[in-house]
Structure 1
């Protein structure tokens, strides 16, 4: 990780667009992947020299208006648009509040109040901070359920457990990129990215795309060795008194085979955890 986070992001997003994506004609042999700097400058209505200084890290304090223009030119989605502003330091300061990894007793009690739904708390770097019993059962195939990114890329179980692994991998990296925009100097994030980069070529490839994605809601597809296929929908909720923490709750469609499998999974682990007489 370098300290030119804004420039790296702009270069990666520029490389992800083709001239035809933005209504431009692509003539001749192109020496660069994606759009040229000149083309981005034209689309954003700014001087190409100024845009070049942004990418090179020689200009680090663009105005919110400049960032808005770049967001439109690069066709950024809402998550990536917010990330752009965060990298440049124009996001509201309260969004940069450092979080704590302590999960309050009240939140733990709330999670335990959902015995039929896996529930857990993660921080910005996707460390699992707390789980309820069904979440423990769901992630039991892993050697250690400690960090969603490590589990996805470095645990051999991950590629079988996540039946749509490529999609899960992309989303996981997108979450970490968002974390890098919110808190780029976080030592835990640096440590995690270093480990993942050293041991996973797939992570390294995805990390260089600078794609950003926040965790809100989505469907996840699992293959659990004890109960088979599971399709669960999750909702993620920000923990207001601990900025950076999110409560994630999985649910199955009522009456579905996944709902039956989830009940069976809970029953299996409840029985196995009963003290012997």
Structure 2
């Protein structure tokens, strides 16, 4: 979970009366509003909004204030500190995909449509306020692939989920070309060992994989469908000495390759549907990032998806999702904007 998603989730869990706030009048959002959390934590509303959008990293003192404002227990407090200060390897990757100040300013000035910046493997690097509100129901809001395949909200939010999932797999395969380590289509992952991806053991399709290579395929030798496996078959294909059913990534090409391998491994271990799609020679589907959504607060939204490559930052893209003027979806975006305030 990203820091912004954590903050949104936990402020929705705090009732205003628990925080000593006046509850008079109709409230449009569950839990606390952004400005209320900011007041309780002793920070400006703008700064807190940037925290939720992923544009700021809080200081230790701010984290402590947020912990008190959100009434976090010990477990949640530890998680907040971890998200606020991610591991060194993650920080290295974040630095490699920093969003420029000019692009952040453009993003924040774009108030009529959800807009966000994607990184090389569809990490969500920054959002404007409308995009943060659009994605507010997600726990895994830091990456589009996790939103689609791992997040419980994904199946309801993406109304044409199957087409969106197929398009996401196509997009992830295309990302391998950026790494320069081969292709995603039908090939190999030369260092896709489970221990490299998710520790020494993982779960695939109801069966435990003790060692081997995972995704949608061959695990060294043997069979995996349901059941216990040390080295075996995964129902959707082959991963032998590094097959991930589709995709070729050899070892030793740095942070990008490791990030891609880890993401594919995480999705493969956690999502049977991803494994099946990843095993297909070429999943069909033309919808990129979805166009038809169901938001829990404003209902159905039909939005265009416009994608603009950022020439100053290869691999980054600005995604804008406007509604047709004077449509019901345009009215819903206006309502969403009031909820985000």
Match of 2:159 in 1: 163
CA-to-partner distance for each residue in 1:16-38, whole Å, 9 max, x for gaps?
xxxxxxxxxxxxxxxxxxxxxxx
Tell me how far 1:113 sits from its aligned partner: 1.6
CA distance 1:233–1:126, change in 2 (3 Å): same
- 1:180, distance to aligned residue in structure 2 (A): 1.5
Contact 1:123 1:245 in 2 (8 A): yes
Give 1:144 shift.
3.5
Q: 1:118 to 1:215 in 2, by over 3 A?
A: farther
Distance between the aligned counterparts of 1:218 and 1:176, measured in 2?
12
Structure 1 residues without counterparts, runs of 5 or longer: 1-98, 271-277
Instruction: Report the Cα offset of residue 216 of structure 1.
Output: 9.5
The 1:151–1:247 alpha-carbon spacing in structure 2 relative to 1, beyond 3 Å, is same
TM-score of the aligned structures, taking structure 2 as reference length? 0.48
SS in 1 for 2:120: coil
Q: For this pair of structures, how many residues does the alignment match?
A: 172
- Would the aligned equivalents of 1:218 and 1:235 in 2 still touch at CA under 8 Å? no
Richer in helix (by share): 1
Measure the CA separation in 2 of the matches of 1:140 and 1:267: 14
User: Does the alignment pair 1:139 with 2:99?
Assistant: no
Contact 1:232/1:258 (<8 A) preserved = yes
Pairing partner for 1:253 from 324, 330, 341: 324
The equivalent residue for 1:200 is: 271
Alignment map for 1:225-240 (pairs within 5 Å): 225-240=296-311
Q: Please say if 1:124 is aligned against 2:195.
A: no
SS at match of 1:179: helix
Q: CA contact under 8 A between 1:252 and 1:259: conserved in structure 2?
A: yes
Give the corresponding residue for 2:169. Answer: 173
Report the Cα offset of residue 209 of structure 1.
2.1
Q: CA deviation at 1:181?
A: 2.5
State the distance in 2 between where 1:193 and 1:220 align.
Answer: 24
Q: Which residue of 2 aligns with 1:22?
A: none
TM-score by length of structure 1 reads 0.59
Cα 1:199–1:124, aligned 2, differ >3 Å: closer, same or farther? same
Q: Find out whether 1:105 has 2:176 as its counterpart.
A: no
Displacement, 1:269?
1.5
**Cα deviations by residue, 1:210-265 (Å, 9 ceiling, x for unpaired):** 43899997861100000000000011111111100001001001011000001101
What do you get for the CA RMSD once the two structures are aligned?
2.2
Contact 1:177 1:211 in 2 (8 A): no
Structure-2 change in CA distance of 1:163 and 1:212 (3 Å): closer
